[in-house]
Amino acid sequence: MEWLQALRESFWTPSSIGSLPGFVLSLAVAALLGAVLGQAYIRFGQSLSNRRVFARNFLLLTVTTTLIITIVRSSLALSLGLVGALSIVRFRAAIKEPEELAFLFLAIGVGLGLGAGQGLLTVVALGVILGLLAIRGLVRRPPAQANLYVTVASPARGRLTISQITEAFTACGAAANLSRFDETPEAIEASFVVAFSNRAGLEQFSGRLRALSPDVRISCLDDTSTAV
């Protein structure tokens, strides 16, 4: 029957059968390297976001990139079609940390290498990169005491300034470093890495800010919650 012939031509061509073992191996290696990359990001990353949640994307991204490159690498028409398809895709997820973008590019690069048949080169390159990350993590001087990631969001009404926020930290005996600052007509949002001498300092800081602006929103993330 015609539909059986069409099905056979689509799934059981000699070229597709011959390349199937290598393709399956590439996907397996991509999954393994994506998982390893995710664990490296959790262990050595310095992003303020939840690294465990973000790292879950690496395995899927690596395997998907391997699949796409394996399919289009032997056909110019498919490559042009891929460019056209991707041109209509819009990514709405905000990447606030440059480190997140760097790891995403690394995951895509691993998928590109495996899909292009450069498995050994890809594995060696990833090993070198992860080795450099490990060295950076080992030589990085640990903080003297437990840190908090403190985010302050102040709406337009009673908007606080960076100077007022940092003065409130200083008045409470805390050492604060500004890590991110976002400003819109409606509000400002500032993130700090803060070392309090004691937990009571956080309550004093919150009270000082609310005295200046009752609508201020303060969120804290313990440093130990993002570490392994």
Rounded CA gap, 57 and 157, in Å?
38
Does 19 share its domain with 132?
A: yes
Residues 65 and 176 both lie in one domain: no
The torsion defined by the Cα of 83, 86, 88 and 89, in degrees rounded to 10, comes to -170
Q: Of the residues 81, 106, 139, which one is the last residue of a structural domain?
A: 139
Which 8-state DSSP code applies to residue 88?
T
Per-residue pLDDT tens digits for 32-56: 999 999 999 988 887 766 788 888 8
Per-residue model confidence (pLDDT) at position 139: 80
Position 15 scores a pLDDT of 57
pLDDT recorded at residue 38: 92
CATH number of the domain at 180, please. Answer: 3.30.70.260
Question: What is the per-residue burial (b if ≥16 Cβ within 10 Å, else e) of 44-79?
Answer: bbeebbebeebbebbbebbbbbbbbbbebeeeeeee
Q: Which residue has the tokens 């699949």?
A: 67
pLDDT score of 138: 80
What's the pLDDT at 121? 92
Same domain, 108 and 181: no
Per the CB < 8 A criterion, the answer to whether 138 and 156 are in contact is no
Q: What is the pLDDT of residues 16-32, one digit of tens each?
A: 565 778 888 999 999 99
CA distance readout (Å), 148 to 139, 175, 176, 195, 202:
21, 11, 9, 6, 10
Are 135 and 176 part of one and the same domain? no
pLDDT at 226: 41
pLDDT along the chain (228 residues), means of 10: 58 61 88 93 77 87 88 68 56 67 90 88 93 84 61 86 88 85 87 79 86 88 52
**pLDDT at residue 172, as a whole number:** 84
Q: What is the CA radius of gyration of the chain?
A: 24
Provide the pLDDT for residue 195. Answer: 82
Other residues' Cβ atoms within 10 Å of the Cβ of residue 205: 25
Dist CA 107 CA 115 (whole Å): 12
